[in-house]
Chains A and B, each alone.
Chain A
Amino acid sequence: MTWSAAARGAHQPDNTAFTQQRLPAWQPLLSASIALPLFFCAGLAFIGLGLGLFYSSNGIKELEYDYTGTAGTGGCSACALADRGRAPPPPCSCAWHFSLAELFPGPVYLYYELTNFYQNNRRYSVSRDDAQLSGLPSALRHPANECAPYQRRASGLPIAPCGAIANSLFNDSFSLWHRRRAGGPYVEVPLDRTGIAWWTDCHVKFRNPPLVNGSLALAFHGTAPPPNWPRPVYALSPDPNNTGFVNQDFVVWMRTAALPTFRKLYARIRQGNYSAGLPRGSYVVNITYNYPVRAFGGRKLVVLSNISWMGGKNPFLGIAYLAVGSLCILVGFVMLVVYIRYQDQNDEDEDEE
């Protein structure tokens, strides 16, 4: 009998702005008088911003060298040939020589770049165990199922760090040498291998398991390194603060790249004489060539770059701003023309009427 209540109990509705849908409202209309200034102003602003971005991006210096070693390109082709087919490939080293005519302003970053490497591939990118990497002892012994088939060795030992990402850790290494003048000795440029990963990664997300008897090696006792690794995880670096799960190369690698072409920071150059940048002179980058990419058509590059306030070199944003800005202005002009013509026509029509 609900309806009887509804039929009877009706009363006068509230006469408020809300219930009567009379709320004060701004009613924007895209009329020509609003749209034209809007387009022009936006266009100009974007162009201005675009110019700024473009120049600041152009100010960034970048040197890159493809050391994959396709046939006939420099010293790494021999290593590349050796790479074919065998895993792990035999150790091989090659070098990249370049010279700077003027100061390469700092801070200078050394990146390595891989192409055609699908780190974002689903099955690859989920193949990790964050709990293990955060140093949880139980997870250390019992890696997550996601890590399969790099979860346990055939012997049954749990793999630490487990998963495909860890297994495929980039293992080329670089060293930079500087010669001030021709014929002089090459001085090794100190590469700062720390501070290349996010602070939160090395201090929160990635933690070593609690030490056993003060030894990291003992903490990892009972685990096996990933199949591709020549040495266990606690021996990644001699520096005790930079080894194990918190090894920064490892941490950087574990942050899976967004796109198949990606860079990863290898080192920062900021110490000693090189804090202001790389002074002029000739340089050589010695590369330990381990990582096999030619099989799947990938390439490896080493990149030296400095950064500006907006990050690394990328002219795109500036161009995009410029393009959108000009488009706005163009649209504005088109509208203006059409509007004027229509207005005339309209006036004529009215005259006819």
Chain B
Amino acid sequence: MQREPAAAEEPGCPGGRRRRRRRRRRPGDGRTRVVRSNLLPPPGVEDPAAGAAKGARRRRRGGAQRLADNRLKTTKYTLLSFLPKNLFEQFHRLANVYFVFIALLNFVPAVNAFQPGLALAPVLFILAVTAFKDLWEDYSRHRSDHEINHLGCLVFSREEKQYVNRFWKEIRVGDFVRLRCNEIIPADILLLSSSDPDGLCHIETANLDGETNLKRRQVVRGFSELVSEFNPLMFTSVIECEKPNNDLTRFRGCIIHDNGKKAGLYKENLLLRGCTIRNTEAVVGIVIYAGHETKALLNNSGPRYKRSQLERQMNCDVLWCVLLLICMSLFSAVGHGLWVQRYQEKKSLFDVPESDGSSLSPVTAAVYSFLTMIIILQVLIPISLYVSIEIVKVCQVYFINQDIELYDEETDSQLQCRALNITEDLGQIQYIFSDKTGTLTENKMVFRRCTVSGIEYSHDANAQRLARYQEADSEEEEAVSKGGSLPQRGSIGSHQSVRIMHRSQSTKSHRRTGSRAEAKWASMLSKHTAFSSPMEKDITPDPKLFEKVSECDRCLAIARHQEHPLAHLSPELSDVFDFFIALTICNTVVVTSPDQPRQKVRVRFEVKSPVKTIEDFLRRFSPSRLTSGCSSIGSLATNKATHKSGSNFLSTLSNDRTLLKLEEKLSQPTKAIASNGYSSGAASWAPEHTAQEQELEKEKEQEWELRYEAESPDEAALVYAARAYNCALVDRLHDQVSVELPHLGRLTFELLHILGFDSIRKRMSVVIRHPLTDEINVYTKGADSVVMDLLLPCSSDDARGRHQKKIRSKTQNYLNLYAVEGLRTLCIAKRVLSKEEYACWLQSHLEAESSLDNREELLFQSAIRLETNLHLLGATGIEDRLQDGVPETIAKLRQAGLQIWVLTGDKQETAINIAYACKLLDHDEEVITLNAESQEACAALLDQCLHYVKSKSPCSTPQKTEGNVSVGFSPLCPPSTSTTSGPSPSLVIDGRSLAYALDKNLEDKFLFLAKQCRSVLCCRSTPLQKSMVVKLVRSKLKAMTLAIGDGANDVSMIQVADVGVGISGQEGMQAVMASDFAVPRFRYLERLLIVHGHWCYSRLANMVLYFFYKNTMFVGLLFWFQFYCGFSASAMIDQWYLIFFNLLFSSLPQLVTGVLDKDVPADVLLTAPQLYKSGQNMEEYRPRTFWLNMADAAFQSLVCFFIPYLAYYDSDTDVFTWGTPITAIALFTFLLHLGIETKTWTWLNWIACGFSILLFFTVALIYNASCATCYPPSNPYWTMQTLLGDPVFYLTCLIAPVAALLPRLFFKAVQGNLFPTQLQLGRQLAKRSPKKLIAPKETFAQGHLLGEPRTESSEQRSIKTSGPLSQDCTSQASWHVQQPACSPEASGEPNVVDMNMPLREDILLEELSGQAPGSVPREAILEGCSGASKMKPTSTSRTAPLSSIFNLPNFSSLNWISSFSLVSGLGSILQFSRNSLQMDKQDSEFLPSPPQPDQDLCGLSGQTTDYF
């Protein structure tokens, strides 16, 4: 507290006074820090020359002592502190303390069992290994620190009066740093000057949060107005700001100038360490936080350590072992006491009195014996267990990281394990909590459709384009394999080659042939631009809307110099125009080229920034300014980008598309209908594109310049959509936005304010001055739920009001429709402000902005005041596509017995539809929707639902639990699933109800209900609620939970869950940084859990069990011996063997098995995901198995003890000559036991076993020959050598392990054959019929789980194969385009299809009838459609019945109704024909009774039982 404020002050007298004052107001004090320029002479020192030296010295001292300097030090140790500090840390582990304690016991002569030095060896070894590991890690940290610390940067030197190169580590708070483009920011720096004329600076924060878009930073207000270049020496202001904290999204403070004026400092003024300067030539700033106080480093928390469930259970069993150890020792102690008492009186020859000759009291003897026993039996608490587990886990992590099937080529990323010690938890997950956006979906926002002023534009071509991307994925491989078909594409071959060449020259992406491979390639090239895959960029415009936009454009171009240009437009057209203007400018998208700083020559207004003061406002809005503003619009030709004429510009924009049109026209003119006729429109305004190369050239330039950097994918999608309508955002500056229109040319909007998006308002607004009308407009974009409430209430009196009302209700309808389709909806609205209104609002807004206290609150209020009385323009529907393989993954995970909950912030309709799309919900199952308005209502609803669920399936609960617990002697078929007792319902709950349901009183009920449900969807949930749900399930149900998410809103959930998985997707790295595992895509979860999770769990569980077995068995040998040595705690096993047996001789094989053993091969695990349940039920390692294992260990030790005992009974053998065979027998027994437990033997296993035996004998031979007197008290000189000549040694070594393992072997053989567990069945399946497996697997995987993809692919194949037959490739391609419209099943999303199909046909046919010169007649299309649907049953006859379960019988009446209502606009004949068509389908394909998926499962299991 104390050092902070004084930190940057010079420790002069005034400083001292100030400090005293500060001490008094300490509470306020602690939250701020004061930064001054280091260049200033310290206060009180007048002479600058004298002050220089002094100041430097003081500064150094001050810097070093008080404030963190910029030196990065992530190392934990120094050379000196390593040993004590590391030891100290290691002794935090209780086990280490225990082992050291035991070792130290050996130094007490009365109780010692081993040579004291020797006893320390294993502990020291373990400590040394750990210490070495720590040292190595620390050293590599040190190296990377060193590297970073010695990066250079320019720091202003006071002595030299210029910027000089310094190392990063020399930077101190208060220094002035000059950074150039593409340099990394060395510390948190307050931006004071930028080469950018607007005082802007762009940074890329990828290092910090993984977001690759550019963020804008702004010079501190007051400094941007400086005319001359910023001179650090003149900087005399004092900066007061927050103390260092880790909140990346927040920075507040103020700068106090000499004249006492204050100015606020915000996040926008701060350059964060680790970011990169982009697009800006040079910036200067003052360092505010350095080194470890920077936000980047405060955020870096390093790897996480969690304790896995298995480890918790293991620790519990370790405690049992401790108890056992104490019992054994106590028993032994009592026995020894009695023994001593018995023989002491009799003066037996072997009794040894105390060293002073007095006889030892039995009690003392017992105490000694107890302690010695603890030393000898310490092996029971396995010292190497922890180390071995760590080694095994590290290897498991390595293998998971290395799995090539978890590698995502597209992003060149593999799975990362960030938590090293919970791998086995992956095998025990019971509940998955998933985010929706970005996790299930791609978070690639694609503009799908929109509605403007009540008219819907369905963008069919766009939908087809999207469908094509999907096809392209599967097409790609086939195209490669099917080389023969390539020549047939010859007609466009030349184009392709040109295009490919062109692509290789620039980062231009591809439109039409945009397959995934290309997308991959492009995304790699344009790494710097987020959200700009071709899929998102290339929107195909809707022709009608396109026509309207161009009309607006033309009209306005004509009317632009008239008084009210917009008045010439019809209300609808003016709405359209405003709609697109809003799309283009109501955002924070930056237009950039990533590698060059912007070369801006632009027309500047007199005042640069948004309106800041009232005077400013008056000045700017005085009439004289109006004209200059207008004229400025005309004179913007200096920009490099606009050296082309407007039309030229536009042609380049669209030429790629026209190129496609050309291709199509060339190849088959009649197919022009496929391109929706807008090519003709395009041709009309871009007629001069004859030389294609030239155009490509232009295109290249164009692409180079138009790159949009958006903060959210939605924004980018909208801007790209607007661009597709030739309303292109070409420039965004601090205070102006330029939009390029084909006829109007460039319109420059004066940007007055941006009211940014926040999650409470759920909207953002821009305030602009319209260049055409000079009005002040507010464009608002936001969630429909809020925007619709903010609309100007319209009177139903006049026609206009009624019209508005109608538009609104229509728009609302379409919004609902979009939501049902799973689109993300946004409403666009506008408000025109009069100058008076604006002035009024501005006043309050400026007050709010300048207020220091609750600025945020005031700004919020101010925004709310502005965003009222809106005029609705339209709405957009953005599609967030499902990631690849999500439905399949979910189906598999379900089969694996995992409950999947989706927790999303999205709205209910969207969430439900995504849930249907990804098969989380099924159409034939009931959906319970919980939307309660109050606590009471929620309680009542819950009761009602519970009652309902109970009444519906009274037996489902016990059955379910039974199913979970029973190990199942039944074959692969799951014992009981919900499908047999009818589908269990699904639960959908919204955020508000969730808040009620999570209340203490209701949470039990809620949980109980949720447990009954197949899937649970929580919509509109906040991050906190997400984590509360996870916590609830985790604590109440005692279940293993996994949370997966990709965004910052999932962080809390990820942290709460047992296993947190982050998706390294589009939304930055925050989720990944909080996660334990980071996967590139959702579908990798399947392999991660079902294969790796299972393996890790099974390996580790078996290894831990083996460890316990091994140690108990070994200790048992010693314990039995106590009965024959008077419980005197002597050991027949030599001390060396005792100490090193665990550590050296028997450790390697179990490690190899623990790392490599695969109980069931991966493909079987994936084929039969229900095998995963063994992990969930903890079948491998549960208390029962533990105790059975211990019993077996006891038995084995009995055998291994008494066989040598009897074999050597009554002979002249000595202790160690007898003990050594026992050791050898133990070793052989361990290895054989491991052999029984090992499921797969690789050469590594063999080598490890061989090595163990060899090592034991080698060590024994060397040890027994090395020294005759060195190892008291055992001193087994030449023992091993003698034994090797003794046949009895070999004979006992043969018989004892066999006899010991016979029961286990017998049990295994009987159980494996008669009552095999599911895992064993899976193993047998894989083993017996590796060929047969593949066949069932395919039907299994594709027939049951992937029913639909199967039909889809076969459908495609049927089309494909027909491809070579048709001579014309283009027609083939266009058939592809049309295919989805005819066979909706192909899209794999039944209910979306239900809606889409009529709409698509609708548009298609309208086009046909509207403008179809020389196009295919309507009948042909219809024929084509029905032809395709007829063709389908033949091509997919095998799988068709399967697809039917997922498809049509589930047609809910609701869907029917909605589709009817949509269709209503169509001609009745058409409607009839389509309906009949669907009926036909229903009759022909879907009526056969849907087979139960589980039947087939049983079928498979039946097959498996055949094999025995």
- Contact residues in B for A164 (Cβ distance below 8 Å): 350, 352
| Contact present for B1207 and A149 (CB under 8 Å) | no
| Contact present for B1211 and A314 (CB under 8 Å) | yes
- Is A181 at the interface (CB under 8 A from chain B)? no
| Contact present for A316 and B414 (CB under 8 Å) | no
| Contact present for A296 and B348 (CB under 8 Å) | yes
| Contact present for B1309 and A32 (CB under 8 Å) | yes
- Contact residues in B for A149 (Cβ distance below 8 Å): 352-357
Q: Contacts A27-B1241, A327-B1302 known; A296 to B346 CB distance under 8 Å?
A: yes
| Contact present for A317 and B1288 (CB under 8 Å) | yes
A-B contact pairs, 27 of them (CB 8 A): A2-B302, A7-B1078, A15-B404, A19-B404, A21-B1156, A24-B1242, A28-B1241, A30-B1309, A30-B1312, A32-B1313, A39-B1309, A117-B349, A145-B109, A164-B352, A204-B1277, A256-B1215, A259-B1209, A259-B1218, A264-B1212, A311-B1287, A312-B1210, A312-B1211, A314-B1207, A320-B1299, A321-B1291, A327-B1302, A353-B1502
**A4 and B1272 alpha carbons, distance in the complex (Å):** 56
Residue in B402, B1242, B1291, B1298 whose beta carbon sits within 8 Å of that of A42 in the complex: B1298
- Contact residues in B for A264 (Cβ distance below 8 Å): 1212
- Contact residues in A for B1286 (Cβ distance below 8 Å): 311
**A145 and B1323 alpha carbons, distance in the complex (Å):** 61
| Contact present for A130 and B1269 (CB under 8 Å) | yes
- Is B399 at the interface (CB under 8 A from chain A)? yes
Residue in B350, B412, B1210, B1295 whose beta carbon sits within 8 Å of that of A124 in the complex: B350
Interface centre among B348, B1130, B1288 (most CB of A within 10 A): B348
Residue in B416, B1217, B1310 whose beta carbon sits within 8 Å of that of A335 in the complex: B1310
Q: Contacts A117-B349, A353-B1502 known; A30 to B1128 CB distance under 8 Å?
A: no
- Is B1005 at the interface (CB under 8 A from chain A)? no
Q: Which residue of B lies closest to A1 (CB)?
A: B274
**A151 and B352 alpha carbons, distance in the complex (Å):** 12
**A298 and B1282 alpha carbons, distance in the complex (Å):** 30
Residue in A4, A25, A136, A148 whose beta carbon sits within 8 Å of that of B1242 in the complex: A25
- Is A267 at the interface (CB under 8 A from chain B)? no
Q: For residues 1 through 15 of chain A, which have their beta carbon under 8 Å from a beta carbon of chain B?
A: 1-7, 10-15
- Is B525 at the interface (CB under 8 A from chain A)? no
- Is A53 at the interface (CB under 8 A from chain B)? yes
Contact with B along A62-92 (1 / 0, CB 8 A): 0000000000000000000000000100000
| Contact present for B1295 and A46 (CB under 8 Å) | yes
**A46 and B1162 alpha carbons, distance in the complex (Å):** 40
Q: Which residue of B lies closest to A297 (CB)?
A: B346
Q: Chain B nearest CB: distance from A229 CB in Å?
A: 13
| Contact present for B1309 and A4 (CB under 8 Å) | no
Contact with A along B861-875 (1 / 0, CB 8 A): 000000000000000
**A314 and B1207 alpha carbons, distance in the complex (Å):** 7
Q: Contacts A125-B1215, A317-B1291 known; A6 to B404 CB distance under 8 Å?
A: no
Q: Chain B nearest CB: distance from A123 CB in Å?
A: 4
| Contact present for A2 and B141 (CB under 8 Å) | yes
- Contact residues in A for B1128 (Cβ distance below 8 Å): 118, 120-124
Contact with A along B1291-1332 (1 / 0, CB 8 A): 110010011001001101110111000000001101100000
- Contact residues in B for A98 (Cβ distance below 8 Å): none
We find that the number of chain B residues with CB closer than 8 angstroms to chain A is: 110
- Contact residues in B for A317 (Cβ distance below 8 Å): 1207, 1288, 1291-1292, 1295
**A21 and B1336 alpha carbons, distance in the complex (Å):** 24
- Contact residues in B for A134 (Cβ distance below 8 Å): 1268-1269
- Is B88 at the interface (CB under 8 A from chain A)? no
- Contact residues in A for B1217 (Cβ distance below 8 Å): 258
Q: Chain B nearest CB: distance from A226 CB in Å?
A: 11
- Contact residues in B for A342 (Cβ distance below 8 Å): 1313-1314
- Known A2-B74, A25-B1242; 14 more pairs at CB < 8 Å: A7-B1072, A12-B404, A13-B401, A13-B402, A21-B1156, A23-B1243, A87-B347, A122-B1125, A131-B1269, A149-B355, A256-B1214, A310-B1291, A314-B1211, A350-B1506
Q: Which residue of A lies closest to B1244 (CB)?
A: A23
Contact with B along A279-310 (1 / 0, CB 8 A): 00000000000011101111000000000011
**A256 and B1132 alpha carbons, distance in the complex (Å):** 11
**A335 and B1206 alpha carbons, distance in the complex (Å):** 30
- Is A146 at the interface (CB under 8 A from chain B)? yes
- Is B899 at the interface (CB under 8 A from chain A)? no
- Is B1136 at the interface (CB under 8 A from chain A)? no
Q: For residues 295 through 353 of chain A, which have their beta carbon under 8 Å from a beta carbon of chain B?
A: 295-298, 309-312, 314, 316-317, 320-321, 324, 327-328, 331, 335, 338-339, 342, 346, 350, 353
- Contact residues in B for A327 (Cβ distance below 8 Å): 1299, 1302
Q: Contacts A23-B1242, A311-B1286 known; A205 to B1269 CB distance under 8 Å?
A: yes
- Contact residues in A for B353 (Cβ distance below 8 Å): 149
- Is B800 at the interface (CB under 8 A from chain A)? no
**A129 and B1275 alpha carbons, distance in the complex (Å):** 11
We find that the number of chain A residues with CB closer than 8 angstroms to chain B is: 106
Q: For residues 384 through 411 of chain B, which have their beta carbon under 8 Å from a beta carbon of chain A?
A: 399, 401-404, 407, 409
- Is A260 at the interface (CB under 8 A from chain B)? yes
**A204 and B1277 alpha carbons, distance in the complex (Å):** 9
- Is B1205 at the interface (CB under 8 A from chain A)? yes
- Contact residues in B for A101 (Cβ distance below 8 Å): none
A-B pairs, 7 with minimum CB distance: A148-B355, A296-B348, A122-B1130, A258-B1218, A25-B1240, A35-B1309, A126-B1273
- Is B1484 at the interface (CB under 8 A from chain A)? no
Interface centre among A146, A262, A350 (most CB of B within 10 A): A262
Q: Chain B nearest CB: distance from A155 CB in Å?
A: 14
**A261 and B1208 alpha carbons, distance in the complex (Å):** 11
Contact with A along B1491-1508 (1 / 0, CB 8 A): 000000000001001101
Q: Chain A nearest CB: distance from B1031 CB in Å?
A: 26
Residue in A200, A256, A310 whose beta carbon sits within 8 Å of that of B1278 in the complex: A200
- Contact residues in A for B349 (Cβ distance below 8 Å): 117, 168, 228, 291-293, 296
Contact with B along A123-160 (1 / 0, CB 8 A): 11111111101101000000011101101000000000
- Contact residues in B for A53 (Cβ distance below 8 Å): 1291
Residue in A7, A30, A263 whose beta carbon sits within 8 Å of that of B210 in the complex: A7
**A148 and B349 alpha carbons, distance in the complex (Å):** 15
| Contact present for A121 and B1214 (CB under 8 Å) | no
| Contact present for B1275 and A130 (CB under 8 Å) | yes
Interface centre among A1, A133, A327 (most CB of B within 10 A): A1
- Is A111 at the interface (CB under 8 A from chain B)? yes
- Contact residues in A for B1282 (Cβ distance below 8 Å): 198
Q: Contacts A12-B409, A296-B348, A342-B1314 known; A259 to B1124 CB distance under 8 Å?
A: yes
- Is B1239 at the interface (CB under 8 A from chain A)? yes
Q: Chain A nearest CB: distance from B1217 CB in Å?
A: 7
Q: Chain B nearest CB: distance from A218 CB in Å?
A: 23
Q: Contacts A130-B1272, A134-B1269 known; A121 to B1207 CB distance under 8 Å?
A: no
- Contact residues in A for B1214 (Cβ distance below 8 Å): 255-258
- Is B1110 at the interface (CB under 8 A from chain A)? no
- Is A119 at the interface (CB under 8 A from chain B)? yes
**A85 and B1404 alpha carbons, distance in the complex (Å):** 122
Q: Contacts A258-B1213, A310-B1288, A314-B1210 known; A27 to B1323 CB distance under 8 Å?
A: yes
Q: Chain B nearest CB: distance from A257 CB in Å?
A: 6
Contact with A along B1221-1257 (1 / 0, CB 8 A): 0000000000000001001111110000000000000
- Contact residues in A for B1278 (Cβ distance below 8 Å): 198, 200-201, 204
**A302 and B771 alpha carbons, distance in the complex (Å):** 125
- Is B594 at the interface (CB under 8 A from chain A)? no
- Contact residues in A for B1506 (Cβ distance below 8 Å): 350
**A1 and B147 alpha carbons, distance in the complex (Å):** 12
- Contact residues in B for A335 (Cβ distance below 8 Å): 1306, 1309-1310, 1313
| Contact present for A6 and B1208 (CB under 8 Å) | no
**A148 and B1268 alpha carbons, distance in the complex (Å):** 22
- Is A20 at the interface (CB under 8 A from chain B)? yes
- Is A113 at the interface (CB under 8 A from chain B)? yes
